[in-house]
């Protein structure tokens, strides 16, 4: 019997690109809220999802730097299971419910790329960096203090796609409404059979179900954000007209489930 | 309307990780035929596929170094669309028909990784190298000549998984039966909804349909092959008991279609 | 006037691979003490340096994960100036003084590679990972606790060169003698002129001068260490006969100077 | 006795980052000639080197894709010794002799980076790609034909630094004067001792000595070239005011020597 949550399925089930859930994540985030042009960003939404009229174009640019484990101490295999990612989340409405729509997402790791597709995140490979904070005092250690400065960037295939900065102003107990919407994505797996290239085998709107979400070490300040134009990408069309607050925090959560909102193949 | 053959689907359709077929490939191959332990390799086959009793355990290790284009001159974006890959093909039988089963496959490019999953190749990211041949004479240029030597290797996440060598002996008109079986793979896309982790949304046996296949500059000689053991992989279980001929050739082909042999979710 | 501490020297001096000192470092370390075969490791020492008879073969394997800045907020350019490294330090004696000799060193960043050569570290490129600890509780966050487990590994050009593990046992105030020797390396820059290939332009024994060294968050436990054999490397010859304690700590220090102990070209 | 042409020097001499000369190279080149602003590019020249008044600002952007070997069949270790590079060569005069000055140079390999510093090329790590040509006919194979199109690009640390294109027009017997100047570079190795940061240990003008140079498969056509601005680089200051011909050819040569033109530390 072949085993494994994903391909390659194998006799022992340890060759699979993605191990079986539950999946656990712990990491650090640098985030910047911004507003893009709603007349443009409305066009990134699939049928059934609409911009949130209360906050047209409000979005978050999210840089993550995290460690992953499933059931086999994957965090003790850091070459395979540490990951850095970048996502955009756009305030939207699905059937009257506020959601965060994820139009673009990049990670630096193959297991995370495929895990994303399974979760409905449209991931591509990107190279992602953010300034880190270290325990020992130094000009190099970027402490979490008032006026502390952090940067982040993301590139793919040698093109810079996002550049961000955050200047910390004050420690906070919570994110104050930022990231309080459930993330909705789209699981999409095409057919290759002739004549069926536009009839995907899987096309579902899905909502993430996060277990044990935990946010800590929250700092809030001012953000900077820029999406340089790059050949072969459409990210810059969602670029900021206005930039808001910046955030730096640590997080953890688990994933074992997903909620299918709609089957779009029907 | 959102466009794109794959996620991320976008207003212009140019952000998609994989462009729409037809897909065209041109490249160079280093290949080594070998025999693994049929009592072990039989366990890598899915239900309905069996080892070929005429050649139990006969396999090919295939290193490719190629360029890709779809309809938009993707070969003029070499940072995104050049690729190197490694595959194993195992002689097998499906419903009485000789096939080549692909249990493991690695590539160094995200578009190729996802394209592979759509084609039924169980790809993971790997770093693949092969000695190249260059037009200008030099000790460094590895000419295609009698006793010419070529090497190839593949690693993933910093672990060496395959090491191969070929010593050329003679030029040939064709591959002499090597690679004359149609490749069969498995399209597999899991569900993440609780309780359905072992009920994939897509699970199909598929047979590749290659358009305009072309093989040229064929050289045949002796092969060397070694699969070092590596944590988190099962490749070494398919490693060689005996190594046969080595091959070096150039190839091109196109893909626009796939043949679904069986729906395994049924 | 061309400017820059290193090549490429340029009109503004910002293109230089390595910015001018002072240099500041802050990071995390996973370290494992071990004993190699002194009859073998004695041969890695240059003339004038000898094994320490008090602790023949005692060595430390050091994995670093750090951030760098010079005078221009380089830590806000994380894509260029974050770095991970691996070093071996061997207990030795120079003119009666206990020192730590650095025979091999790997980093994942070009500025760090060249900085190392200038400091006397014989760096090559390697891919280095270590389990990280994150603030938010999770199975993935690897907290600093009794029985906490950490791993590290280093590979170069797709070959695994070092694999290590540390199981934490207790928090400590200091490293207890570990890393209390000044590191001695060798600045070596060859000539390429015909007939002078073995007459280096620079060949100096040098001792590092660290400013403001700070060690914090020290945990001590048990170590595991393994140097797999790899083509084109000699690291495994210094591999462990016996493995001792493991350490996990945070550090910072600055560099503005180096002490030249001997000019070996004389 | 420790052995090795460079650090790390070791008992067997096989750990050295760069093997001993002679060095042999074979590869493919995409090149574009261009003219930058001589009032600006004059400032990239060291004392004693001047712009060539006959062709003020004439430069060549050179993308190489090559294989390397020294005395131990290094081309059979392709993971370590294949390389892609980018260089700029600027027409200049040294003591009345026409030369090509190399102000900036990038490679994707650590051995090549250090070899460059030894040869006087001010190398940094870059990611370099060029469209390749393959033997089997295909839309993907980029044949060497009239109107054949090739692209190349170079990025460093996720920022695109150069983008180039060549449209082939005709096959040629030779390069017609392009690349007929000897390349002059600067070997520069700084001191780190306090007070001596601006007194390099090595600072020499050097002229390359190429053995057995061979150019073949020459095609000439039209070039395109663009140097996007990028933080932390000064390349764009040498960017094209005018772009000339484009070239595609194969090459090989050997290196065993260098000619020291001047010792700038004196």
How high is the ipTM of this complex? 0.96
Number of H helices, E strands in chain D: 3, 13
Q: How far is B23 from chain D (nearest CA, A)?
A: 9
Choose among C170, C211, C166: nearest CA to C23.
C211
- Check if the beta carbon of residue D178 is closer than 8 Å to that of residue D33: yes
Distances from the Cα of D97 to the Cαs of A260, B17, B205, C46, in angstroms?
73, 52, 68, 43
User: Which residues of chain A are under the pLDDT cut of 70?
Assistant: none
Determine the pLDDT at residue B36.
98
The Cα D254–Cα D172 span in angstroms is: 23
Determine the pLDDT at residue D152.
98
- Check if the beta carbon of residue B103 is closer than 8 Å to that of residue D35: no
Q: How far is C41 from chain B (nearest CA, A)?
A: 26
Residue B39 CB coordination number (10 Å): 10
Using CB atoms, list chains with 3+ pairs below 8 Å to chain C.
A, B, D
Choose among A86, A29, A173: nearest CA to C134.
A29
Q: How confident is the model at residue D68 (pLDDT cuts 50, 70, 90)?
A: very high
Q: Do D6 and C197 touch (CB under 8 A)?
A: no
List, in sequence order, every residue forming a beta bridge with D125; answer none if it has no partner.
Answer: D107
SS3 C173: coil
| Interval B145-168: pLDDT, tens | 999 999 999 999 999 999 999 999
Q: How confident is the model at residue B71 (pLDDT cuts 50, 70, 90)?
A: very high
- Check if the beta carbon of residue A87 is closer than 8 Å to that of residue A102: yes
Nearest to C158 among D21, D79, D231 (CB): D79
Q: How confident is the model at residue D1 (pLDDT cuts 50, 70, 90)?
A: confident
Determine the pLDDT at residue D166.
98
Q: Do B124 and A8 touch (CB under 8 A)?
A: yes
User: D3 exposed, middle or buried (CB, 10 Å; 0-12, 13-18, 19+)?
Assistant: middle
Q: Can you tell me the mean pLDDT for C7-13?
A: 97
Listing DSSP states for D73-127 in one string gives -GGG-HHHHEEEEEEEEEEEEETTEEEEE---EEES-HHHHHHHHHHT--EEE-E
Q: What is the dihedral of CA C117, C120, C122, C127, to 10 degrees?
A: -70
* Cα dihedral C190, C194, C198, C201 sign: negative
- Is residue D157 scored above 90 in pLDDT? yes
List, in sequence order, every residue forming a beta bridge with D226; answer none if it has no partner.
Answer: D163
Q: Can you tell me the mean pLDDT for C88-104?
A: 98
Residue A259 or residue C1, greater confidence: A259
Global confidence as pTM: 0.97
Distances from the Cα of C175 to the Cαs of B135, C73, C178, C218, C219, in angstroms?
58, 30, 5, 7, 8
B82 chain-D contacts, CB cut-off 8 A? 129, 132
Q: Vertex D105, ends D100 and D106: CA angle to 5°?
A: 155
Which residue of C lies nearest to B127 if distances are taken between CA atoms?
A: C158
Choose among B163, B129, B134, B158: nearest CA to B148.
B134
Choose among A191, D151, D137: nearest CA to B25.
D137
Q: Do B189 and A202 touch (CB under 8 A)?
A: yes
The Cα A70–Cα A115 span in angstroms is: 12
* Cα dihedral C70, C72, C76, C77 sign: negative
Q: Is D136 on the interface with B (CB under 8 A)?
A: yes
D residues 32-61 lying closer than 8 A (beta carbon) to B: none
Q: How confident is the model at residue B56 (pLDDT cuts 50, 70, 90)?
A: very high
Average pLDDT for chain B: 97
The Cα A15–Cα A254 span in angstroms is: 22
- Is residue B177 scored above 90 in pLDDT? no
The Cα B9–Cα A188 span in angstroms is: 9
Residue percentage of chain B with pLDDT more than 90: 97
Task: Name the strand (E) or helix (H) holding B168.
Answer: strand B159-172
Q: Can you tell me the mean pLDDT for D6-29?
A: 97
Q: How far is D57 from chain C (nearest CA, A)?
A: 16
| Interval A68-107: pLDDT, tens | 999 999 999 999 999 999 999 999 999 999 999 999 999 9
Determine the pLDDT at residue B123.
98
Nearest to D158 among C46, C79, C193 (CB): C79
- Check if the beta carbon of residue A133 is closer than 8 Å to that of residue A144: yes
Please, which residues have CB within 8 angstroms of residue A196's CB and are 6 or more apart in sequence?
none
| Interval A166-175: pLDDT, tens | 999 999 999 9
Q: Is B155 on the interface with C (CB under 8 A)?
A: yes
SS3 C226: strand
Nearest to B155 among C153, C154, C158 (CB): C158
Q: Is B124 on the interface with C (CB under 8 A)?
A: no
| Interval D163-205: pLDDT, tens | 999 999 999 999 988 899 999 999 999 999 999 999 999 999 9
Q: Is D127 on the interface with A (CB under 8 A)?
A: yes
C160 chain-B contacts, CB cut-off 8 A? 158-160, 230
Q: How confident is the model at residue B1 (pLDDT cuts 50, 70, 90)?
A: confident
| Interval A224-241: pLDDT, tens | 999 999 999 999 999 999
Determine the pLDDT at residue C133.
98
Q: Which domains does chain D have, with CATH numbers?
A: 23-178+210-258 (2.40.400.10)
Q: Is B201 on the interface with A (CB under 8 A)?
A: yes
């Amino acid at each position: 019997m072949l085993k494994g949550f994903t391909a390659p399925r194998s006799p022992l089930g340890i060759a699979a690109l993605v191990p079986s859930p539950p999946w656990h994540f712990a990491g650090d985030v640098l985030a910047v809220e911004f507003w893009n042009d709603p007349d443009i960003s409305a066009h990134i939404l699939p049928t059934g999802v609409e911009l949130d009229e209360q906050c047209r174009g409000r979005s978050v640019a999210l840089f993550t730097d995290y460690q992953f484990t499933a059931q086999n101490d994957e965090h003790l295999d850091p070459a395979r299971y540490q990951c850095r990612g970048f996502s955009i989340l756009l305030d939207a409405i699905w059937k009257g419910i506020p959601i965060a729509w994820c139009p673009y997402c990049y990670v630096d790791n193959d297991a995370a790329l495929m895990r994303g597709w399974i979760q409905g995140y449209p991931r591509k490979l990107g190279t992602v960096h953010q300034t880190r904070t270290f325990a020992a005092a130094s000009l190099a250690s970027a402490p979490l203090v008032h006026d502390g400065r952090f940067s982040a960037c993301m590139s793919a295939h040698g093109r810079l796609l996002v550049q961000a900065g955050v200047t910390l102003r004050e420690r906070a107990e919570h994110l104050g409404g930022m990231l309080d919407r459930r993330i909705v994505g789209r699981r999409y797996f095409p057919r290759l059979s002739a004549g069926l290239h536009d009839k995907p085998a899987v096309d579902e709107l899905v909502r993430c179900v996060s277990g044990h979400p935990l946010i800590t070490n929250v700092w809030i300040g001012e953000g900077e954000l820029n999406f340089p134009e790059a050949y072969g990408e459409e990210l810059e069309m969602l670029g900021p007209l206005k930039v808001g607050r910046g955030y730096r925090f640590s997080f953890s959560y688990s994933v074992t489930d997903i909620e299918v909102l709609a089957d779009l193949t029907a």
